[in-house]
Chain A
Amino acid sequence: MRKSKFWSVLVLTLISCICGFFLAWVFSLAKDKIEENQKKSIKRAVYNLCPDCERIEEKTIQGKIIYCLYDKKNNLIGYGFCSEGQGYQEKIEVFFVVDKDIKKLKGIEIIESKETPGLGARINEGFFKNQFKELDITSSIKCVKHKKSEKNQIQAITSATISSKAVVSIVNKGIKKLKTLLGK
């Protein structure tokens, strides 16, 4: 009996089922916590980039979540939006905040990236991200290798041009998408 093919199939099926149910149970315990963590990291990003913000309201347009930011007097002061695209190795997810006319960028935050440690991963560091603060976005942002000469330019990280360019194009794409979603 134990040598038969039927026995092999039975044991394999049984073990797979037990493991599957067990995993489903563990995941159902942790699911809320994981979602909460993602929301928390976005909220933290909003308060970092836009200290005046007092209240965040989530709006869903065509399946995309737009974060509307309000100040103390309940005036709309800007929008937050997540955008993602291909980086050097894996996709990069960027969260950015713009003012209410979508003319100025308030800043960006990298939510998820798996770039090369020490090189591409430096997109997470302040000196790169801070370049996006108060950036003019009436025309699309450009990524340059030399010192920036115009106000809508970002200087790329040395030896991580692809990652820097990826972040810039992801932000550009996100701004375009946000404009179409809001009909502006």
Chain B
Amino acid sequence: MKKIGILNQGLWNNHPIFRQLLGMCPTLAVTTSALNGLAMGLAVIFVLLFSSLVVSSIRRLIPQNVRIAIYTIIIATFVTIVDIFFRAFLPPISKALGPYIPLIIVNCIILGRCEAFASRNSVTSAFFDALGMSLGFLWGLFILGSIREILGKGTILGFKILPSFYPPMVIMILPAGAFLVLGVLAGIMNRLER
């Protein structure tokens, strides 16, 4: 039961995007389409899961004064693996996400969860925390990307869904649209919680 509670923290109660407002750079920058959001979310699931597992399993060996440096090295390793994987097997997605894949290294969700949770809890708890947080990040990005893609291009995952007389709102694809949608969604989350 406790594990489900931990999982739920990331999925809803303590949602990384709409509650903790972490990882804003990738959230705002890559969600120009639903597919990009999905790919970024999957990359973060991989990185967060593995770095949390590693950090949690070596937490007793890590000296306090260099812990952040060690977390960063571990995170950077997994991010580089994702980057290489995308370049080798999914070049179109790698092209679309551009520099944002390497920038997962400085995504504060990952460092934040390593420091606040994985370094203080058992490997299984760390696994569920990482899973919950990254799945929460994934659905957040997917919703954000879908709304921006529907309003900005009239398509979802590349399929046309809005009738052709609908004029696409280019602002939704631009950074300003990201802030607008994020603000509205965070507001809705707050309202639902009350």
Contacts and interface: CB of A to CB of B under 8 A. Distances in A.
Interface string A79-118: 0000000000010000000000000000000001010111
Contacts of A184: none
B63 interface: yes
Contact of B77 (A2, A3, A23, A30): A23
Interface in B119-158: 152
Contacts of A90: 98-99
Given A12-B69, A19-B73, A112 B95 contact: yes
Contacts of A22: 77
B84 A37 contact: no
A8 B84 contact: no
B21 interface: no
A182 interface: no
A41 interface: yes
Nearest to B81: A26
B89 interface: yes
Interface string B42-66: 0000000000000000000111011
A179 B85 CA distance: 38
Contact of B70 (A11, A33, A112, A114): A11
Contacts, number: 59
A119 B32 CA distance: 13
Interface residues of B, number: 27
Given A8-B65, A11-B66, A118-B170, A19 B76 contact: yes
Q: Is the interface of B mostly helix, strand, loop or mixed?
A: helix
Q: Bin the interface of chain A by size.
A: 20 to 34
B189 interface: no
Given A19-B77, A41-B91, A118-B173, A30 B98 contact: no
Contacts of A2: 63
A7 interface: yes
Chain A interface, DSSP helix/strand/loop, else mixed: helix
A64 to B, nearest CB: 23
A114 B102 CA distance: 14
Contacts of B81: 23, 26
Contacts of A37: 87-88, 91
Nearest to A110: B95
A12 B70 contact: yes
Interface string A1-33: 011000110011001100100110011001001
Nearest to B33: A117
A34 B66 contact: no
A117 B99 CA distance: 14
B8 interface: no
Q: Among A16, A23, A112, A118, which residue has the most Cβ atoms of chain B within 10 A?
A: A118
B185 interface: no
Interface of A: 2-3, 7-8, 11-12, 15-16, 19, 22-23, 26-27, 30, 33-34, 37, 41, 90, 112, 114, 116-119
12 contacts: A8-B65, A12-B69, A12-B70, A12-B73, A16-B73, A19-B76, A26-B81, A33-B88, A37-B87, A37-B91, A90-B99, A114-B99
Given A23-B77, A37-B87, 18 more contacts: A2-B63, A11-B61, A11-B62, A11-B63, A11-B70, A12-B70, A15-B73, A15-B74, A19-B76, A23-B81, A26-B81, A26-B84, A30-B88, A34-B87, A90-B99, A114-B98, A114-B99, A118-B152
